[in-house]
Copies of this chain bind each other. A is one copy, B any other.
């Protein structure tokens, strides 16, 4: 999905909920979709302020749920205090994460069997699956050898 298409989707979603497209929300959207990597709320605030310096932390925190509910962003919880976010390019959440614990880089890996697993296991328990996540924590081999984590920003 192109950024233009995503922006339209955002506007449509807001309209469908009786919400308004404001300069602040637009700045947050643009900042989010300019990111190439996973980002945190605080990083998003910095980048949104570079576009519109009137954006406040509160508005970022109020806008993030709107963007995840509308599937524009995907929330990635890797078990740290911080939540990470990522523009949701596909509508398919069948993705696993590999997290380098040395530099916190997050790799996204397709894992189509996850959905099958989730529904098989849920059904046995009398439950209806909503979502599933598969995450691998790992050390960087290069770090051990050279003292430098090759994934570092």
Contacts and interface: CB of A to CB of B under 8 A. Distances in A.
A131 B139 CA distance: 10
A130 B136 CA distance: 7
A51 interface: no
A138 B150 contact: no
Interface centre among A136, A139, A141 (most CB of B within 10 A): A136
A77 interface: yes
Interface in A97-150: 98, 100-101, 107, 109, 111, 114, 117-118, 121-122, 125-142, 144, 150
B129 A136 contact: yes
Contacts of A100: 127
A96 B118 CA distance: 10
A18 interface: no
A100 B140 CA distance: 34
A129 B139 CA distance: 6
A144 B114 CA distance: 24
A139 B135 contact: no
Contacts of A121: 96, 98, 109, 136
A142 B126 contact: yes
A80 to B, nearest CB: 9
B134 A117 contact: yes
Contacts of A98: 121-122, 125, 127
Interface of A: 77, 79, 96, 98, 100-101, 107, 109, 111, 114, 117-118, 121-122, 125-142, 144, 150
